[in-house]
Amino acid sequence: MKHGSRTCQGLISFVTGILLTLSAWVVWDNWGRFIHPVESGITSTTADTTDTLARGKYLANIGGCVACHTAKGGDTLAGGRRIDTPFGAVFSSNLTSSKTNGLGDWRETDFASALSWGRSRNGRLLLPVFPYNHTSVFTPDDVHALFSWLQTVPAVEQAQPAHQLTWPLGTQPVIAVWRSLFFKPTPFKTNPNESAEWNRGAYLVQSAGHCAACHGQRNALGSFPAVDDVSGGFLSPQLWLAPSLTDAAQTTLSTSTLNDTAQLLRVGQTQHAHASGPMAEFVQYSGQYLTQADALAIATYLKSNIKPSARTGSQPNAPLAASSPAAQTLYKTHCATCHGDKGEGKAHTYPALAGNPAVVLAQPDNLIQMALYGGYGPSTAAQPRPYGMPPYLFTLNNQQIADVLNHVRGQWGNQAPAVSPMQVDRARAARY
Which residues have a Cβ under 8 Å from the Cβ of 108 and sit 6 or more positions away? 40, 42, 143, 144, 147
CB–CB of 176/30 below 8 Å?
yes
- 3-class DSSP assignment, residue 235: strand
- For residue 212, which of 131, 291, 130 has the smallest C-alpha distance? 131
Q: What is the pLDDT of residue 260?
A: 93
Q: What is the pLDDT of residue 138?
A: 97
Domains 196-304 and 325-431 share a fold: yes
Which residues have a Cβ under 8 Å from the Cβ of 181 and sit 6 or more positions away? 221, 223
The pLDDT confidence band at residue 383, using thresholds 50, 70 and 90, is confident
pLDDT tens-digit profile of 181-198? 999 999 999 999 999 999
The pLDDT confidence band at residue 43, using thresholds 50, 70 and 90, is very low
How far is 116 from 123, CA to CA, in rounded Å? 13
Q: Answer with the residue of higher pLDDT: 8 or 307.
A: 307
According to CATH, the topology of domain 325-431 is Cytochrome Bc1 Complex; Chain D, domain 2 (1.10.760)
Which residues have a Cβ under 8 Å from the Cβ of 283 and sit 6 or more positions away? 264, 265, 266, 267, 268, 275, 377, 378, 380
Is 98's pLDDT higher than 50? yes
Q: What are phi and psi of 235, to 5 degrees?
A: -90, 110
Rounded to two decimals, the pTM is 0.87
Is 5's pLDDT higher than 70? no
- Which amino acid would we find at residue 253? L
Q: What is the pLDDT of residue 32?
A: 59
pLDDT tens-digit profile of 210-254? 999 999 999 888 899 999 999 999 888 778 999 999 998 888 888
Q: What is the pLDDT of residue 187?
A: 95
Is 429's pLDDT higher than 60? yes
Domains in the chain: boundaries? 29-182, 196-304, 325-431
How far is 118 from 123, CA to CA, in rounded Å? 9
Q: What's the mean pLDDT in 372-384?
A: 89
DSSP summary character for residue 70: B
Q: What's the mean pLDDT in 289-300?
A: 98
Strand partners, 90: 83
| 335 C-beta neighbours (distance < 10 Å), count | 20
Share of the chain above pLDDT 70, in %: 87
DSSP structure string for 244-293: -SSBTTT-GGGTS-HHHHHHHHHHSB-SS-B--HHHHHHHHHTGGGS-HH
Task: Report CA dihedral (30, 34, 39, 40) to the nearest 10 degrees.
Answer: 80
Identify the H or E element spanning 242: strand 240-242
pLDDT tens-digit profile of 110-143? 999 999 999 998 889 999 999 999 999 999 999 9
How far is 2 from 221, CA to CA, in rounded Å? 43
Q: What is the pLDDT of residue 305?
A: 93
The dotted CATH code for 196-304 is: 1.10.760
Burial class (CB in 10 A: 0-12, 13-18, 19+), 227: buried
